[in-house]
Amino acid sequence: MSERYLEGRVAMVTGGASGMGRAMALALAKAGAHVGIGSLLSDAPAKNADGELVNRPGRAELDKTKADIESCGVKCVAVDLDVCSVESVKSFHEAVKKGLGPVDILCNAAGITAEHGVVDHSEGLWLKVMDVNANGVFRATREVLPGMLERRWGRIISIASTAASVGAPMSPAYCASKAAVTGFTRAVAQEGAEALVTANSISPGWVETTFGVEWMSDIAEKQMSTKGDLFIQEQKAENPQKRMIQPVEIGNLAAFLCREESVGITGQDITVSAGSVW
């Protein structure tokens, strides 16, 4: 089978400058797809006053990912993106179409989390996590799905989480938002089935990204009064494979789901956790 099996295809990746989004964008580029990436940018990872935990790559990181994608011999469009804004998502889609062509593949990787139990959970924090993780997937999918249905080809891949099916006392918003992603994915799979447009979600366990390490360190320091690196090593030791998932594994799975031979795989939530339930 050809290694450039996505030659001429166009992909759009939210959260594409870093982490799992970057890994998916690069895997698609290596398979021959032109790629548009969008990410909410800032100078450094930040935890805001409301308790939101998010990794926001800087402009240099966005530009570096763009250059790495282009080094695969494909074109790339890279923009600042806020998936909470309908206008921003529409502008991203228009920029990709103008620069690369109609979108064949959508990867939803933009996401945030928050560590807070239901008791005294602020309304604003709950709504923000849901807006990014669930509504952001809806907004991006709504943009590209009509064209995919018309052309009778499309792949939609969204990052969910093992948290979608495993609860955690301090992550109710995150768990709920990721469960929403899996339910939404199943509905889109049915809507796109007759036109051979597939929709799947990927549910990773702990992934060794900048965001993943920041999140684990936050849990260790705020909830367990221990050092982040010690907690991370403990999690690796407890994992059946004694490791954390690497971003490239998520990227390669996303690219596999875009193969012609993968058209029968739709409406699925695929766990990638090295044997761990969380």
What mean pLDDT is reported for the chain?
94
Does 1 have pLDDT greater than 70? no
Segment 39-60 mean pLDDT: 74
Which residues have a catalytic role annotated? 174
73-119 tens-digit pLDDT: 999 999 999 999 999 999 999 999 999 999 999 999 999 999 899 99
207-225 tens-digit pLDDT: 999 888 887 887 877 877 7
Closest CA to 23 of 164, 212, 198, 187: 212
Handedness of CA 8, 10, 16, 19 (dihedral sign): negative
Q: Report the percentage of the chain scoring pLDDT > 70.
A: 97
Distance (Å, rounded) from C-alpha 129 to C-alpha 42? 18
Class of domain 10-205+246-272: alpha beta
Residue 269: helix, strand or coil by DSSP?
strand
pLDDT at position 140 is 99
Residue 147: helix, strand or coil by DSSP?
helix
Per DSSP, helices labelled H in the chain are 19-30, 59-70, 86-99, 123-130, 136-151, 172-192, 210-223, 228-238, 247-256
Position 232, amino acid: I
Segment 218-238 mean pLDDT: 85
Residue 278: helix, strand or coil by DSSP?
coil
Distance (Å, rounded) from C-alpha 257 to C-alpha 194? 18
Query: How is the chain split into domains, by residue range?
Result: 10-205+246-272, 206-244
